[in-house]
Structure formats: C-alpha cells, structure tokens
Structure 1
Amino acid sequence: MKHNQVCYYVERGFNGKLYVSYGMYEYEKTYGGHKVSRLRPPEIRLINGVPFDDFQSETEFKKVPKGWTYSTDLYTVTENLDKKEKINAAMKGRYFTCPSDLQWLFDNGYLVKMENVEPIIEPEFNHDTYRLRKKYPAWTQCYGSHNDRYPDEVFETYEAAEKRMHEIMEENYKRSVKCALLDFYEDLEWVLEKYEAEHGGREIAKIKQNILARPHLEDIMFRYYKGDILIVSKEAHRKNTHIEWEKIA
C-alpha cells in the first residue's frame, strides 16, 4: 500500500462493537511500520470571524463584559458558509465505501488529515479579565481519543475490510461459545452433585441426559433451590430478571 493512500481497517468502538473505518495510510520509515490518520472535511468554523485554523491564542488579558456570568459567551462561533457549500457539493454523490471517491476528496482538499489531538478554544481567567487560548488537551491522549490509529491490518477496499470484520466477529463468537460451554459443564456438575447429595444418584444419568439434549447449552443458567434443579435462558434472564425458572428435577 502506498503512502497517503486511502485505506480501510477494522475498529472496535467504545461499546465493544466492530465496524469498518477509513483513513489515510502513512508508512513510518523510522519504525518500519504504519499508521492510519483519520480524515474529516476541512475546518469551516470561525472564531470571532477568524478561521479556526488561523486563530492564535491571545496574549493580552481584557476585561470581562459588564454583567458577565460563567454562562456568558466570550466569543462567537460561526461558519464559513461559502466553504461549507463547496464541500457539500464536492461530496454529493460520493460514498465512503468507494476508495476512489475518498482519494479524490483527499487529493482535492475536501478531506484532510485530522490532528492527532484536536485543539479547543477556552477562555483563561485572571480575576476580572480573560483571554482566549487555543489548547491541546492532554486528557484526550489519556482516554484514547487521539486520531492516529495503528491497526494490525489495512485493506484497499471497504469490502475486504468488511469481510475481515465478519471473520473476526465469527471467531469471537466461537470463542465466547466455548467459554460459555466450559461454564455450563462446570455448573452442570455442581448442580448434579448438589442433587445427588440430597436425593441420591439413581436419577442423575437421566437428568443429565435430558439437560444435554436441549439446544443452545451455552445459554443455560442453573439454580439449585429447595432440592430442585432449575434452569433459565441467560439471555431471557438478562432481559427480565423476574422471569420464571423451569424445574428440571
């Protein structure tokens, strides 16, 4: 893959779900690896009429407005409407699933690399005076919200990345089923031991056979209550903790 080529990769969101992201592939010669920079449309915000990218932190303090409170806006944020219209027109009919569309938008300046940590504008106070500062918050790095990515795999097409995403999801599902089955068999042995200790072992083989004949063993949850073996679906119990348990023995 070439330097500054649009690529796709599989990413995990904060909710744990996988999805396909895109960005700009960059080869890092120093480390012999690669990184992917997120892309976004060019900045259109104006801070007090000054383009956001050109805005510089103020050096001089000035008096806060008369009657000022902490909810008072100390600067105005507007948009460059002409620039916004041009960006929207360029993006019309183009799709993020099409790498050639994204590459064209990037090459023509309608998509740009995001800064690793995006700056914010904040007022800095000194008694009854203030100045506007352009800051790069350190907490963004700490909480993983920076915009550089280092995926293990990158793909030239959306379809290839989507295919890999489904493969990972299938692998994760199989792994989770195996873990759930291990828990199931441990819980099954525990509940049968409890039943045998109280009722004897004459019915154990039959009870075990009946349970193992059920579908989706990984979804079964056990309870031993007042000498009875009870089961319920984990998924159903997660949705409704007051669901009625089924008596097995």
Structure 2
Amino acid sequence: MKFFKLFSCIALIGLSLSSSAAEISVAQTQLQAPAQTNHIIAYFSARQNGKTTHINTADPQGIYRVLISKSSEGYLVQDFFQANHQAQSSPVLLTDAEDLDRFQVQSAVGEILLYNRNGQRFNKQVYDKDHDVIYVAGYSLHGQILLEQEVNPENGITHTKLWHSNGTLAFELQSNSDMQLIDSQAWRRNGKAFNSKTCFSDRSLDFSSAAIDPCVLQLKSLYQKYEKLWETQMQ
C-alpha cells in the first residue's frame, strides 16, 4: 500500500488517499474483480524516486498483492514484499475494484498497519466509511511512537502529538483545516517547555511564515528527520 502523508498540514510521509475521487459501489465493481481468492492479483515495482508503480510481472525487490476474500462490503487484500514474502501491510478492505491493482488506493476502509522489510511496524492508519483518513501514527525503528494525529470529521479539527527521538513529548497541537493553530504546547528535547509568547507567534503551521520562530524551527527539523526515516522504511 502507498501511504498517507502524516501531517495533513505539513505533508509528512504516508498512504495517499484521494477523497475527491468518484465513489463506485461494490455492486457496480464486483464484475471487474477476479473470480478467485487467496492468490496474487497485482505486482508493484520497487520504490524509485519516491514512487511505486503497477507492473505486469514480479519485481524481485517489489511488492505483490493478494486478494484474501470478497464480500458485499468489498475486497479484502494484503501486500507483501516479493524478496522475503513478509507482509508490507495488514489486510485492508477496499470498496472499489479499480483499486485492486492500484498502489495508491482511494477506497480503503478501517485500519491499516504498514511494515518495513524486516517486519517492523512503522505506520498505522485508520479510514472512515467515506475513505477519509481520521487517524495516523508513525513509529521509530524500535517501535517507539514518534507522531500521532487524529482528525475530527465533524469539525475538521486535527489533534497532533509529536515526540523527540528520546521519547520526550515535543508538541501537542490542535489546528483547523486552514493550518491555523487553535491550541499548542511545545517542549525541547530536555523536556523544558518553550516560552508560550514566542512559540508559534503567528498561530500558523506554515513553515515559510515564521522562519525564526523557535517552535516552527523545531517542528520543521523533526518533520525532515522523520520524513527521511519513514521514506527509508518504504524502500
């Protein structure tokens, strides 16, 4: 599976989901789906230049997708690394048959866990019935949570927590859909809180809007560090 960007406002690495794509009912798409289950239905290339694409034959360093089952709810699929047959994702429900051979799925429902080639979980995502991402979490190579983000579908408010690599809480933020902060708290790596008067002074999460703001600088630094970490684990 491809992964949604972890900060909706800052664009961290994650499974990509297009909520604007036209929805196709299961009844309409079942005729396009394979008749058999528990077999390989698609191959994907090794990741190159940040992309994974659908291919016709297996790539030794790529990924393959298995159709586990199909029902009135949709198609339960799971992705695996070709090289060692380790799971690349947990089973995930897709409601659109066109997603069966599409790495960048648009119709996921429920929870997805994502793994690197060593079998370590590094990402968790939850999609609602409308295929919108409502929860994302990112983990270190040792299983420590580094980022957690939850979106309230009723009002669009996003609650984000971000940790330093030593386990100290770095940020706890609430923001709206316009990337404006509603509430914020920030801590340095040593656990000392930032001065609230100088932290996110313009109440924006836009990196370019407050280049000398100490909280923005710390947030940008962690973003770049973790983006690299999660991108590496997708290789």
Instruction: Give the TM interval when normalised to the shorter protein.
Output: under 0.3
**TM-score after normalising by structure 2:** 0.24
Q: Whose strand fraction is larger, Structure 1's or Structure 2's? A: 2
The structure with the largest alpha-carbon Rg is 1
